A and B are shown apart, each in its own frame.
Chain A
């Protein structure tokens, strides 16, 4: 096991820990900042290990630049107070959630042993390769997504109006 594999393990551990931070931090603003760390580190993962440079850049622009800033605006608009999650320790809700998630992870990881094969060498997938497929074979879903986003924008305005 060389330095490349070890660096992937360390990097994956940091990604996982930032995800745990989203769940475990009490203040919602801190949770949102942990999610920012997670999304940015995932973009770096795409760029460095998974040879997807276009997706890494799009992840930064769309997730971090649009969605997360939007969520942070809403959090600061609402003046959300801190949630006390320490008193829920050993509550039925926490025990049920932990049990379900641990069973799920154990099943998937046990199946994962049978997956063989390694990530191929440096075959980068650039924007041209994505566009070749997106605008020929998947052009109908692409147009439908634009209709969906338009409908979502109209629905959001209708929901957030003052007088419902």
Chain B
């Protein structure tokens, strides 16, 4: 029997790794990959809760989250492509138009 707190600890560690990547990396695509990592950690949490309660609601939320991740990937890649075309690179330091 796996204690459910282990599953929660794993999901929190994966989520925190993704958050660290969003905070410290400069490459926009790698930041995007780290956002996917954060979503994956949240998914592990939902499935763990669903396993603990024996209910199917967590699975439904995970399915919705996968659909929204697909939509987010389409929009995010379009924005990154437009940014690359305009600035010649994907480093977020190049977005300094409104920097004081």
Contacts and interface: CB of A to CB of B under 8 A. Distances in A.
Chain A interface bracket (under 10, 10 to 19, 20 to 34, 35 or more) = 35 or more
Interface in B1-34: 1-10, 12-14, 16-21, 23-27, 29-30, 32-34
A67 B74 CA distance: 8
A151 B27 CA distance: 27
Interface of B: 1-10, 12-14, 16-21, 23-27, 29-30, 32-34, 36-37, 40, 43-44, 47-48, 50-52, 54, 56-57, 59-60, 62-64, 66-75, 77-82, 84, 90-91
Interface of A: 4-5, 8-9, 12, 15-16, 19-20, 22-23, 28, 31-32, 35, 38-39, 42, 45-46, 49-52, 54-55, 58-59, 62-63, 66-67, 70-71, 74-75, 77-78, 80, 83, 85, 88, 93-94, 96-98, 100-101, 104-105, 108-109, 112-113, 115-120, 123, 125, 129-130, 132-134, 138, 141, 145, 148-149, 152-153, 155-157, 159-160, 164
| Prevailing SS type, chain B contact patch | helix
A119 B2 contact: yes
A125 B74 contact: no
Contacts of B21: 22-23
B51 A119 contact: yes
A12 B60 CA distance: 24
A19 B14 contact: yes
A113 B8 CA distance: 10
B51 A50 contact: yes
B10 A16 contact: yes
Contact of B5 (A50, A113, A156): A113
Contacts of A28: 27, 29-30, 33
30 contacts: A5-B2, A15-B10, A19-B17, A23-B25, A23-B30, A28-B30, A28-B33, A38-B40, A50-B7, A58-B66, A67-B70, A71-B73, A74-B29, A78-B84, A83-B26, A100-B19, A105-B13, A109-B12, A112-B9, A115-B4, A118-B2, A119-B48, A125-B59, A130-B63, A141-B64, A148-B68, A148-B71, A152-B72, A152-B74, A155-B74
